[in-house]
Structure formats: C-alpha cells, structure tokens
Amino acid sequence: MTKYKLEYLWLDGYTPVPNIRGKTQIKEFDSFPTLEQLPLWGFDGSSTKQAEGGSSDCVLKPVSLFPDSQRKNGIIVMCEVMMPDLTPHPSNMRATILDDPGAWFGFEQEYFFYRNGRPIGFPESGYPAPQGPYYTGVGYSNVGDMARKIVEEHLDICLDAGINHEGINAEVAKGQWEFQIFGKGSKKAADEMWVARYLLQRLTEKYGVDIEYHCKPLGNTDWNGSGMHANFSTTYLREVGGKEYFEKLMKAFADTREDHIAVYGPDNHLRLTGLHETASIHSFSYGVADRGASIRVPHSFVNNNYRGYLEDRRPNSQGDPYQIASRILKTVASVPTA
Ligand code: ADP
Ligand code: MN
Ligand code: MN
Ligand code: MN
C-alpha cells in the first residue's frame, strides 16, 4: 500500500469570478487510484461564500484526477461542489455544461506576472520601453531573467499531469504571457485550464510572484489587455457545417450577445474597446481572419465549406472556462442541425 497525497481542488462561491481552493488528504491505495476509488469529501462552505454558518457543510465530488509531479505520491483531484443531498451546489457551473464528447475547446490564457503591484520588469515608477519587441521576444531586456524559467517549469508540470498544454508565447506587454490548452469533450479543456491555473499560482509562490488575471491591469492605457480566446467546434461543425448553418449560428450568437458577455469575465468593457485587435463590447461581429471581430473565422473554415472551428475572441483572462463552455454550447445547441 502507498500513502497518496490527494489535493482536492474546487471553485469557491465568489462572484463574478470564483477562486480555486484546495486541501490535502492522505489515503492509502495499492496503486495509482482511479476516479471511482476516490471518496467524496467535505469542506466548510461558510468560509468560501458557499453556505451560511448554521449548516455549512458542502460536498466535494471528484470529477478528474492528475498526477502531481511536484509532490511525492501526489495527485490533484478536481472536484465539483455538491449539496449535502448530492445535487449540484448553485455555484457549481461545471454541472451546467451540456455533456458532449464531440465538443472540443481550445483556450488561450493570457496573464501578467506581478510583483509589488506591477508587472515584473516594470520600473518602480513609470513604464518600461513601449510595446513592440516583447511579443514572442527573446533576451533579458525583453523578457527579464525569471519569466521564462517559470513558464518552462509550468509547462513541464502540466505535461507531467497529463494536461493537454499546447504551447507558450510571450505576449504584447512586458511581463505578459500566454499558454494554450486544448481538450476533446465539453468539460475537458475547462477542467485542465483550472488545474493549469492552480499549478501556475502554486508554482509562483516560491518566486514571490503573483498571477494577475485581470483583463486590463494597466487600466486605460495602450498597454495590452489579457484575453482568453475560446476556440470551439462540435462534431456537426467539423463534419457537416455549411454556409447556411454557419449563418444561423452567427445569428444565434448575435441574439445572445448579452448572455455571452455576462459570463466572459468582469470588466470586459475596459478591454473590448474595439481597438488593439478587440471587438466592441456593444456589438457582435464575425469575420474571416478578422482579429478585430467578436468571432474570428479561420481561412481554413471557409475554404473547407464552412467546416472546422471558430474563435470567440471576447472571453477575457479572468473568465471561468466552465461558464464560457456552458454558454457557447447552449447557443450552439439552440441552432437546429438540419
Ligand atoms: P491565435 O493566437 O492565432 O489565436 P493559438 O495557436 O494561440 O492561435 O490558439 C489556437 C487554438 O485553437 C488552440 O488552443 C487550438 O487547440 C484550438 N483549436 C484548433 N483546432 C480546434 C478545433 N477543431 N476545435 C476547437 N479548438 C481548436
Ligand atoms: Mn494565441
Ligand atoms: Mn494572445
Ligand atoms: Mn487567439
């Protein structure tokens, strides 16, 4: 028997953006356990905005597990929060995602490394040299002496965990980076994004660095904001598609614009200004290879008779991938596939 360290993770009840929480329990298993072998657990919901003091127990239901290479015999256990009767807790947004193994998502997470209230590499007062060389840049004056070490370590930890991490790039602002996660199945990429965020925050503790997920941390300036573009496809979109279906789908997105914006992350009006390769928050648009549109339609999609994936560019870096996936699939499901 081996004593495994099980780190149960869940999302708390804070709005508009939940925080990831975690606690460890030790359990013995003959070998690396399966999901079915992992017990339900509980926590004090009155400390996480998920219950009143009187009857404060919430239930943690394991939904996916990941080897944790940073801990001896460590396992990360992603959980849904349930009521004591095992129905989903109101804060449990994962439970609202339609089950669809044919739905694929790719999220592009942008974020800043922060220390002492400013991006790493920013001087104590004022600004560094203007944006330009930082995006996909190399060299100390562009990326400093710490960020690359962190993103490389994070990549390895994610790959060790079996997370389908797809890539990294330095972003437009100094101290800003991106990674991408892709998953097949309506909940997979979102689960892995939350675990990847957790791993990044945990990793940077030892560097004395925080991850700033806010979509416009440098306020109303030309400094780049952070998005989390949501690339999506369904079996029908990949295999059947067609211009007529595509146009109906875009109409459904236009009609539900406000419902989408509501879950695409807070303060998005600061970012979706219509400038800097962003759409305006006040209108819905789509365009081929158009990085200023709400939804970018890849060339390959049009060339393949309107089949493939689409990129919703509006979700921001602080958005909850569960709520984003849930909303996109609801809108897609509202369009009849003839
Ligand atoms: P860009 O920065 O040019 O927008 P990235 O390479 O950063 O592009 O991100 C593209 C994303 O699209 C990746 O996360 C990728 O996994 C995702 N993607 C590619 N094909 C599909 C597909 N068929 N369905 C859903 N997402 C997809
Ligand atoms: Mn990208
Ligand atoms: Mn980017
Ligand atoms: Mn993109």
Q: What is the pLDDT of residues 108-128, one digit of tens each?
A: 999 999 999 999 999 999 999
| Ion ligand 3 contact residues with beta carbon within 5 A | 178
Instruction: Please tell me the predicted confidence (pLDDT) of residue 144.
Output: 96
Type of residue at 106: G
φ, ψ of residue 259 to 5 degrees: the values are -65, -35
Query: How much is the average pLDDT of 62-81?
Result: 98
Instruction: Please tell me the predicted confidence (pLDDT) of residue 54.
Output: 74
For residue 67, list its beta bridge partners.
75
Query: How much is the average pLDDT of 46-58?
Result: 88
Q: Residue 243 Cα, ligand 1 centroid: separation in angstroms?
A: 21
Q: Which of 176, 46, 57, 180 is nearest to 109 (CA)?
A: 180
In this prediction, residue 55 has a pLDDT band, given cuts at 50, 70 and 90, of confident
| Contact in structure between 182 and 229 (CB atoms under 8 Å) | no
Host H or E run for residue 142: helix 140-143
Residue 277 has pLDDT above 90, yes or no: no
φ, ψ of residue 196 to 5 degrees: the values are -65, -40
Specify the pairing of strand 57-68 against strand 74-82.
antiparallel
Give the rounded percent of residues in the chain with a pLDDT score beyond 90.
97
Residue 255 DSSP SS3: helix
Contact partners, residue 301, CB within 8 Å, separation at least 6: 241, 288, 307, 308, 309, 310
For residue 11, list its beta bridge partners.
20
Instruction: Please tell me the predicted confidence (pLDDT) of residue 275.
Output: 86
Query: How much is the average pLDDT of 252-278?
Result: 96
Q: CA 36, 41, 46 angle in degrees (round to 5)?
A: 150
| Contact in structure between 267 and 16 (CB atoms under 8 Å) | no
Domains of the chain as residue ranges with CATH: 2-95 (3.10.20.70), 104-333 (3.30.590.10)
For residue 24, list its beta bridge partners.
7
- Predicted TM-score (pTM) of the model is 0.97
Tell the residue nearest (CA) to atom 13 of ligand 1: 106
Instruction: Please tell me the predicted confidence (pLDDT) of residue 191.
Output: 98
The residue whose CB lies within 8 Å of the most ligand 1 atoms, and thus the one to mutate among 165, 288, 300, 309, is: 309
Give the rounded percent of residues in the chain with a pLDDT score beyond 70.
100
Residue 53 has pLDDT above 80, yes or no: no
Query: In ligand 1, which atom is closest to the CA atom of 106?
Result: 14
| Contact in structure between 217 and 316 (CB atoms under 8 Å) | no
Helices (H), 240-317: 243-255, 257-263, 268-271, 299-303
Residue 338 has pLDDT above 80, yes or no: no
Instruction: Please tell me the predicted confidence (pLDDT) of residue 112.
Output: 98
| Contact in structure between 174 and 115 (CB atoms under 8 Å) | no
Q: For ligand 1, is residue 45 a contact (CB within 6 Å)?
A: no
Type of residue at 137: G
Q: Residue 299 Cα, ligand 1 centroid: separation in angstroms?
A: 13
Q: Between 243-255 and 321-333, two packed helices, what is the crossing angle to 10 degrees?
A: 120
Average pLDDT, the chain: 97
Residue 281 has pLDDT above 80, yes or no: yes
Give the dihedral sign, CA 145/146/151/153: positive
Instruction: Please tell me the predicted confidence (pLDDT) of residue 195.
Output: 98
Residue 139 DSSP SS3: coil
Residue 276 has pLDDT above 90, yes or no: no
Instruction: Please tell me the predicted confidence (pLDDT) of residue 202.
Output: 98
Q: Residue 210 Cα, ligand 1 centroid: separation in angstroms?
A: 27
